[in-house]
Structure 1
Amino acid sequence: MSQKTIKTFTFTGWHMLAAMVLFFGTIITVNFTMAYFATSTWSGLVVKNTYVASQQFNGKTTAIREMLATGIKGQLEVEGTAIRYTLTLPGEKPVVADSVTAHFKRPVGEHQDFQLALTPAGDGLYVAEHAVLSGNWIVEMIAIQGGKTIMHEANRIAIAGE
């Protein structure tokens, strides 16, 4: 009569090492992947003090509703070094503002950001000359008339590279 020996599984140190490597390797891989996506897709739109921004939210919302009720609209054009911004009311009526300022901001980082005061050129047109590097920009336009903000908008634009 032959005797069969049944080999039972023995959990060894190598098995434990493999289980730990797989477990922690998975966690580390997921964390690095999520960190990569978080840093590569972050828009950079952050306020310096979130508490202060939350306290000002309702006031800013009311001001924006009042501005939108006037029907004022702005159109930004950037070609080479020429920056043109047109302010109009419904019916293409030009808007005369005391000052128009453009804040060019990179979506991520601050080292290339700049601010310009645009000069009136008549019929609601405001112009400036400044080299704008290629890539994505967030352009915040602010127009003031009689000490009151009549236009405040931010647009994301892309400048084609050469």
Structure 2
Amino acid sequence: MNQGVAQRTFTGHHMLFAMASFFAVVIAVNAVMATLASSRWSGLVVEDSYVASQEFNSKVSAIRAMAASGLSGNLSVSHEVVHYDIENRGGAPAMVQDVTLTFRRPVGDREDFQLVLTRKAEGRFEVEHHVPPGDWIVEILSRNRNETVMHEAIRVNIAEFGR
């Protein structure tokens, strides 16, 4: 018989340690995932879903009227300047007094911001502002004499400049 080998047995204490370790890992992973999920996205789509549902038909009518007007816009972001051009169906600059852009992240609202563009020429607006790289949903509101003439939302990806 070999005297140098000690005989080990799997006891209840070993089983208790194994089970406690397993559940500790499961609970820790769930806690980390819940913390990340709640800190990344507010979950808020609209402030009040009932009010949003009541306004839906009027918003659809307004969007159809804007689409029929033939106005189109072009947003461009380069380095530290944001440009927006708006034109009529024939390509002539549109009669617009002010343009407001709202930049929203697709997930989360901590980095959202709004820009009021400066009119540089008829149908041409711009503002100097650094837009952080990544995906953005840009809501563009163009107004003439306090009346909305164009309202659109586009998704853009801003590349990190200098790469």
Q: Settle same-fold status: TM greater than 0.5.
A: yes
Unaligned runs of 5+ in 2: 1-25
> In structure 2, the residue corresponding to 1:94 is in which secondary structure?
coil
Structure 1's 65 and 116: CA in aligned 2 closer, same or farther, altered over 3 A? same
**Deviation by residue 1:62-110 (Cα, 9 ceiling, x = unmatched):** 0011111110001100011110000001121101212110101111111
Q: Name the structure 1 match of 2:130.
A: 131
> In structure 2, the residue corresponding to 1:153 is in which secondary structure?
strand
**Deviation by residue 1:23-75 (Cα, 9 ceiling, x = unmatched):** xxxxx9xxx8xx99xx6xx8x67111111000000000000111111100011
Q: Name the structure 2 match of 1:99.
A: 98
Q: Are the counterparts in 2 of residues 101 and 116 from structure 1 also a CA contact under 8 Å? A: yes
Q: Percent identity of the aligned residues? A: 44
Structure 2 length normalisation: TM-score? Answer: 0.71
1:81-120 pair list within 5 angstroms: 81-120=80-119
Instruction: Return the offset for 1:123.
Output: 3.3
Structure 1's 110 and 149: CA in aligned 2 closer, same or farther, altered over 3 A? same
> In structure 1, the residue corresponding to 2:100 is in which secondary structure?
strand
CA distance in 1, matches of 2:96, 2:123: 8
The one-letter amino acid of 1:108's match is V
Q: Name the structure 2 match of 1:9.
A: none
Structure 1's 130 and 147: CA in aligned 2 closer, same or farther, altered over 3 A? same
The one-letter amino acid of 1:73's match is S
Runs ≥4 residues deviating over 4 A: none
Unaligned runs of 5+ in 1: 1-27
> In structure 2, the residue corresponding to 1:93 is in which secondary structure?
coil
> In structure 1, the residue corresponding to 2:84 is in which secondary structure?
strand
Aligned residues: 128
Structure 1 length normalisation: TM-score? Answer: 0.72
> In structure 1, the residue corresponding to 2:66 is in which secondary structure?
helix
Query: Pairwise CA RMSD of aligned residues?
Result: 2.4
Q: Name the structure 1 match of 2:18.
A: none
CA distance in 1, matches of 2:90, 2:65: 19
Q: Name the structure 2 match of 1:70.
A: 69
> In structure 1, the residue corresponding to 2:47 is in which secondary structure?
coil
CA distance in 2, matches of 1:111, 1:71: 35
